[in-house]
Amino acid sequence: MHKTVIMDTNVYGELLIEEKSEEIISRIDKDDSLYIYGVDIISKELQDVPSDKKIKGQVFKEVVTSLVARYIASQYYKKYNELRKSRKHQKSVREKELKYTEEDLKNDFLIIAIASLKNVDIIISADQRTMLSSIAKATYEIVNKGDDLRTPNFIDYFEFKKRYAR
């Protein structure tokens, strides 16, 4: 059974610096249980990486950011902003999280909105500060439930890598 996956931009960077990056990438590429989506905003971020730092790889299907995804991402920000100021989440919010603007979180929230709209199974990321934070996950759940969308599962890159780094 295939699992649909989106890898956050930082995953590509982490793969670049792995000691055995080519072997890991080859094992991921050969894993028929994964169907990896590319996302246009991730492609744009990767274009800014110097050419000597890029990995040549195949993306099976690129998903383009829609107006609906942008709207959902803006809803995530509104709810995130509300939650980070609430008493319930005060203890889990770090000082730095209070300063994140919508612009700081825009791409992360767009990726999750696209994944939710496309019913993607898994998001892989190394970003514990924003995308994988407990308050962000609570945000996705609340907004997606209201919009009748399924929130993807999240896997930390370093856990994901263990499967392929033998």
The predicted structure's pLDDT at residue 60: 45
Structure tokens at 122: 């898994």
pLDDT value at position 16? 83
Instruction: Tell whether the model's pLDDT for residue 87 goes beyond 80.
Output: no
Cα–Cα distances in angstroms (integers) from residue 149 to residues 44, 56, 58, 115, 120, in the given order:
26, 33, 28, 10, 11
Stretch 91-105: mean pLDDT: 76
Q: How far apart are CA 52 and CA 31, in angstroms?
A: 26
87 or 155: which carries more pLDDT confidence? 155
Maximum average pLDDT range among 41-55, 83-97, 101-115, 144-158: 144-158
| pLDDT interval class at 101 (50, 70, 90) | confident
**Averaged over 13-31, what is the pLDDT?**
89
Confidence of residue 116 (pLDDT cuts 50, 70, 90): very high
> What 3 state SS string does the chain have?
CCEEEEECHHHHHHHHHCCCHHHHHHHHHHCCCEEEEEEHHHHHHHHCCCHHHCCCCCCCEEECCCHHHHHHHHHHHHHHHHHHCCHHHCCCCCHHHHHCCHHHHHHHHHHHHHHHHCCCCEEEECCCCCCCCHHHHHHHHHHHHHCCCCCCEEEEHHHHHHCCCC
CA distance 162 to 166: 7
- What are 26-80's pLDDT values in tens digits? 999 999 999 999 898 888 877 765 555 445 554 446 788 899 999 999 999 999 9
Q: 95 phi and psi, to 5 degrees?
A: -50, -40
Residue 144: pLDDT band with limits 50, 70, 90: very high
Per-residue model confidence (pLDDT) at position 58 = 47
Task: Identify whether the C-beta of residue 111 lies closer than 8 Å to the C-beta of residue 141.
Answer: no
pTM for this predicted structure: 0.84
Please tell me the CATH code under which domain 3-162 is placed.
3.40.50.1010
Please report the pLDDT score of residue 52 as a whole number: 53
How far apart CA 61 and CA 1 sit, in angstroms, is 18
